[in-house]
Structures are given as structure tokens and as C-alpha cells.
Amino acid sequence: MKLVALYDIFGKMPNLALMKLSTYYKNKGYKTTLCWDAQPPDASLHYASCVFHHPRANHALAMLRSRLGEDLVTGGSGVDVGRTLAPEIDTCFPDYSLYEWSRYALGFLSRGCNLRCPFCLVPEKEGRLEENYATFDDFVPDGQRNVILLDANLLATGNAYALLEEMIRRDYRVNFSQTLDIRYLTAEATALLEQVKSVNSRFTKPMYYFSCNSAAQASLFREKQDLLRRLGRDKITVIVMFGFDKTLSEEYAILSTLQELHLIPFLQEYMPLPGCPPQPPDNYFDLDIDRIAQMRFRTNGRNNEKFLSFVSQRYFETFGQYYLPLLEARYRYNSKRAILRYLSDPSLVTRRKDRHFGGQAHPPRREVSRQPRHAADG
């Protein structure tokens, strides 16, 4: 029997495109096999899918390409946002047996988004919002109640309320993996969401996910705090992207609003995609840096530390020294001894904020060559 090799490059969850390809080729009489590394088996067809743009993924793909040349077909957001599955493949029910997977089902009910956030590849990859793209029956196996939804902006769809009602009726436990959009949170949506069993990605506890990427959105969270409160205390995580186009005071405003509203921030660094606009503005440090150093996060999660590392590194690149209170905040809980690497060279660190940045006026910018992150930042 002819074999189709399906390569999951750097996947963190079962790859939907590969599972659909598996069904498609099995229906045509092929055998399919899942490959995790760059060692190709003797197969008739080779498909690789990569969802994330990451140096390790790029390396794995380059290795595969060097071995398979033109025989390798690649796709996924990490490779080519323009390439999509042919309709006859895209409509296949995912072959969960490819991953021997039964923990949850995953899929889309809608595709695309009508908004145009500059950091987001959804509009380019999926186009304008397409409602009724699929139904639960198109990707949820009989008896499965755990569902991960990949929809970019489910609440923006015209049939969002009907879909929420269906989740309630089917008694699904749903993870809104791409987050809910606060702009579309109405009283009616809230009343339905209250009844949906919305959970974290491990399906271990109730959790709703939203995202907040601007100070304007943070004000919406404040405006809609009564609705949010109805979803339950400690049951709302808000994804906050840092390192894109916000100044430090804007990032601080978002984080302090979430803190005030008892929402759980989950900080995520912007990962530039080829051709995407970069990076924080030149006047990034427009806030007294001690406000950040003195912040206390609800958890000591690694993502908070990544944010502090990011600010710390950028401070170094801007002013030529690391600000010690910021390093102390970064290494307060985990990897405590790693701070010693900075302290071993006193010229690298300063505790004298006023020497660089008094928090009132922005100091003159020093030209410092961009250096690799300190090894201690991992």
C-alpha cells in the first residue's frame, strides 16, 4: 500500500491540516504516517505543516527540504500564510487516529475576521469573516465533549449566539483558544457565555479567554466590568501582547486596569512575521521605570518574567546599563541565581535611575549597539 508521510513541524497540539490530509488520503486507499523529525520514511507523498514561525521550525523544514527537494509539500501559517487546503481536503473530518488522540476535538466554526489589527495574520491568511464555515459535526467525534475552537473572532459572527446555545445544548466543554473579543461582549452574549462550560486548554478548570492589545481596549474592559463579573471571579484570563507598537506607559495602563478588575493577565511577546511591521516605538520608555519594577503579578508565571526580561533588555539597549530593581523583579521567584551573571560586571548595572531616566522627562537616547540577550535570559 502506498504511504503518505505527514510531518508535524514544531506542533503544540494535533495539526488539523495534517489530520484532514490523513483522512483524504486514507479514503483514496493510502496509508498515512505521522513524522515528527526530519528523517523521511520511504513514502509516495510528503506533506509538512508548520503553524508557528520559529527558528527551530525553520531549521527542521530546511533539513526536510534538503532531503526531499521538490517532493516535499509545505503549508501552515509558519511557512506560507497564502497556502490553503483544497476544498475537497478541507471538508474532510479530521483523522484523530493519526495522533492516537482522544483528549479533545479541534476545529473552526467560522474563518477570518473583518478587522485589521496590524500585528495579526488572520485577515491575510483567512480573509474576511466567513460564517457557517463548518458545524460541530464536521470535526467533533461522537461522544467527545471537549472541544478546542480555533475561530479567530467567534463573537463577531452573526450566528454567534446560536453557536453558544448549541455548545450549551450539547454540554460541551469549550476552550476559546483564540480568545473572545471584548468589543462584541453584550448582555445577551454574557448570559449565554455564563452557561457555556468554558475551560482552560488543559480542560482542568473553568476559564474564559479575552485579549487586550491597546489602551482603548483596556477601557472597554472597564466599561464592561459588570458583564465580566458575571462570568466569575478568577475565571477570566486576558492575553496581552507586548513588544509590538505600545509604549511602556500603555503596557502599564493595560496591566494595571486588568489588575484593578481582578482579571488574570497572560503576557505574550509579539513574534514578528516576515513583512510585519515591527517593534516598540523609539519613545518606549515614557514611564517611570520603577512603576514596572514595583508591579506585583498575580502569579509568578514565566510569561511575566519574559515581559520583565524584555523591558530590562530594552532598557539596556536604550540606556547602556541594566536597571537593577528591574532585574531584581525579574529574578524574584525563579532562576534567582541568574542575576549574579549581571552583577559579576558592575559596569553593566545601575541602581541610579536618575542617571538615565528620572521618570519625568525622557532622557537623551544613547546609541548602544543591539546585543544578544544576556545568556541568563535563556
- Distance between CA 180 and CA 268 in Å, rounded? 16
Q: Which residues contact 90 (CB under 8 A, 6 or more apart)?
A: 20, 84
Q: Is 271 in the site for ligand SF4 (CB under 6 A)?
A: no
- Distance between CA 327 and CA 336 in Å, rounded? 10
Specify whether the CB–CB gap between 127 and 153 falls below 8 A. Answer: no
Q: Is 73 in the site for ligand SF4 (CB under 6 A)?
A: no
- Distance between CA 368 and CA 318 in Å, rounded? 6
Instruction: Please state at what angle helix 248-260 crosses helix 215-223, rounded to 10 degrees.
Output: 10
Figure out which of the listed residues 147, 152, 218, 267 binds ligand SF4, where binding follows CB under 6 A.
152
Q: Is 220 in the site for ligand SF4 (CB under 6 A)?
A: no
The residue among 12, 54, 53, 16 whose CA lies nearest residue 36 is: 12
Figure out which of the listed residues 3, 13, 89, 115 binds ligand SF4, where binding follows CB under 6 A.
115
Q: Which residues contact 17 (CB under 8 A, 6 or more apart)?
A: 49, 75, 76, 85
Figure out which of the listed residues 122, 199, 212, 228 binds ligand SF4, where binding follows CB under 6 A.
122
Nearer to ligand SF4 among residue 89 and residue 115 (C-beta): 115
CA 69 to the chain's CA centroid: 31
C-alpha distance across the termini of the chain, in Å: 46
Binding region for ligand SF4 (CB under 6 A) out of 28-36, 112-120, 137-145, 191-199: 112-120
Q: Is 215 in the site for ligand SF4 (CB under 6 A)?
A: no
Binding region for ligand SF4 (CB under 6 A) out of 66-74, 76-84, 115-123, 132-140: 115-123
In the complex, what is the shortest distance from the CB of residue 123 to ligand SF4, in angstroms, rounded to a whole number? Answer: 5
In the complex, what is the shortest distance from the CB of residue 126 to ligand SF4, in angstroms, rounded to a whole number? Answer: 8
Q: Which amino acid is at 194?
A: E
Binding string to ligand SF4 for residues 36 to 65, with x set by CB under 6 A, is what? ------------------------------
Figure out which of the listed residues 26, 83, 97, 123 binds ligand SF4, where binding follows CB under 6 A.
123
Figure out which of the listed residues 13, 45, 120, 271 binds ligand SF4, where binding follows CB under 6 A.
120
Question: Rounded to 5 degrees, what are φ and ψ at 207?
Answer: -165, 135
User: Quick one: CA dihedral 238, 242, 244, 250, positive or negative?
Assistant: positive
Q: Is 253 in the site for ligand SF4 (CB under 6 A)?
A: no
Size of the site for ligand SF4 (CB under 6 A): 10
In the complex, what is the shortest distance from the CB of residue 312 to ligand SF4, in angstroms, rounded to a whole number? Answer: 27
Q: Is 304 in the site for ligand SF4 (CB under 6 A)?
A: no
Binding region for ligand SF4 (CB under 6 A) out of 46-54, 67-75, 114-122, 252-260: 114-122
Figure out which of the listed residues 63, 85, 117, 239 binds ligand SF4, where binding follows CB under 6 A.
117
Specify whether the CB–CB gap between 35 and 63 falls below 8 A. Answer: no
- Distance between CA 156 and CA 113 in Å, rounded? 8
Grid-cell match 500603555, residue found: 250
> What is the binding site for ligand SF4 (CB under 6 A)?
113, 115-117, 120, 122-123, 152-153, 181
